[in-house]
Amino acid sequence: MRDPRIPLKSSLVAGLLAFLFPGAGHWYQGRRFKATIYSVGIMTLFVWGMILGNWQPVYSELVYRGRADTAQLEFNHPQLKMSFGYAAQFLVGAPALPSLVQDFRFRNATGKQEILDSEINSDFSGIIESRGDDGELRKELVAGRIVIIPAVADQPFAGTLTVVDKDGIETEYEVESNLRLGRAIFGSPRREIRCDLVDKAADETGSDASLQGTIPRSFQDWFQAPRDTHELDQLHGDLNRRFDIASVFTWIAGLLNLLAIWDAADGPAYAYGDEKPEKEEEEED
């Protein structure tokens, strides 16, 4: 029941503003002190949760991989399932709405890339597999820089890979074939890359090798985007219980804003009949 003693203006507008940003509905009503309390309290909790979780606790969908090694390399659209935690995070309003935009982008983007449409020039980390003279398969953890240029002559791409081993020795490879890039839109700051390599410095015929690694993904392509359980496992491994705490903070922030929305749309709850008598009434008695 709304209290007529409080000018709430339009309850619909106040409720909508309170949903879009914590405290905005109360500010619209002129309840500035309460607006500040809601805004600072809820946003501090939400942002602190994001910081604790490396800005990754909020996502609207979980991705389930099919036959590919990882969901990033899935060519077809993988199966998606809503994240139940997002139901609470959604109530924070605008700070959690990028998830819906990223979900739309994810659903309308193609899967893994095998043809480049722009140059890749970035750092990378990963594993190089190669066979030695004895025929044994060797795996080496490496980091370095990769440059791949699309559409050169009759080749779909051409590039080089420069790696530095633990002893500081540089080795240069040529990117030969079977290039595969992970999905452009995905909930991970790192984008997967697979390709075959040739180390021409090894001998005259060249030495075959393959790369399984990752390159950086732009912020706008991973922030609040759908992710798979593999990425979540990595986050839990890197952050341990910090990621769980971060998620809970963002959930609580959303649920607290639900109370703020209710208060803005319908006003605070007051009991009638327990008001203190006015001075005049006391004097008459």
Burial of 278 (0-12, 13-18, 19+ CB in 10 A): exposed
Please say if the pLDDT value at position 187 is more than 90: yes
Please say if the pLDDT value at position 228 is more than 60: yes
User: Span 40-59, mean pLDDT?
Assistant: 96
Pull the structure tokens for residue 2: 């709304």
Q: Between these two residues, 209 and 22, which has the higher pLDDT value?
A: 22
pLDDT at 75: 75
Chain centroid to Cα 224, Å, comes to: 3
User: Span 176-191, mean pLDDT?
Assistant: 87
pLDDT band at 280 (very low <50, low <70, confident <90, very high): low
Please say if the pLDDT value at position 208 is more than 50: yes
Please say if the pLDDT value at position 68 is more than 80: no
Pull the structure tokens for residue 134: 């004895």
pLDDT at 246: 96
User: Per residue in 97-127, pLDDT tens?
Assistant: 999 999 999 988 876 666 677 788 899 899 9
Nearest to 92 by CA among 238, 220, 252, 213: 252
pLDDT at 100: 96
Q: Between these two residues, 168 and 222, which has the higher pLDDT value?
A: 222
pLDDT band at 247 (very low <50, low <70, confident <90, very high): very high
Four-way CATH pick for 120-181+188-221: 3.90.550, 2.40.50, 1.10.3470, 2.30.29: 2.30.29
Unique residue bearing structure tokens 């914590």: 22
Tell me what the pLDDT averaged over the chain comes to: 84
pLDDT at 205: 47
Between β-strands 120-131 and 61-64, what pairing exists: parallel, antiparallel or unpaired?
A: unpaired
User: Per residue in 145-157, pLDDT tens?
Assistant: 888 887 655 566 6
Integer Cα distance of 60 and 225 in angstroms: 7
Q: Which long-range contacts (CB under 8 A, 24 or more apart) does 199-206 make?
A: 199/130, 199/171, 199/172, 199/173, 200/174, 201/171, 201/172
Please say if the pLDDT value at position 8 is more than 80: no
Please say if the pLDDT value at position 258 is more than 70: yes
- Of 57-71, 101-115, 151-165, 177-191, which has the strongest mean pLDDT? 177-191
Unique residue bearing structure tokens 């109530």: 91
User: Span 5-20, mean pLDDT?
Assistant: 86
Contacts of 194 (CB under 8 A, 6+ apart): 73, 178, 179, 180, 210, 211, 212, 213
Residues 54-80: b if buried by 16+ CB within 10 A, e if exposed: ebbbbbbbbbebeebebbbbbeeebee
Share of the chain above pLDDT 90, in %: 45
DSSP assignment of 115-140, as one string?
A: S-SS-EEEEEEEEEEEE-TT--EEEE
Alpha-carbon Rg for the chain, nearest whole angstrom, is 28
Q: Which of 129-143, 188-202, 210-224, 262-276 has the lowest mean pLDDT?
A: 262-276
* Domain extents in the chain: 1-112+223-271, 120-181+188-221
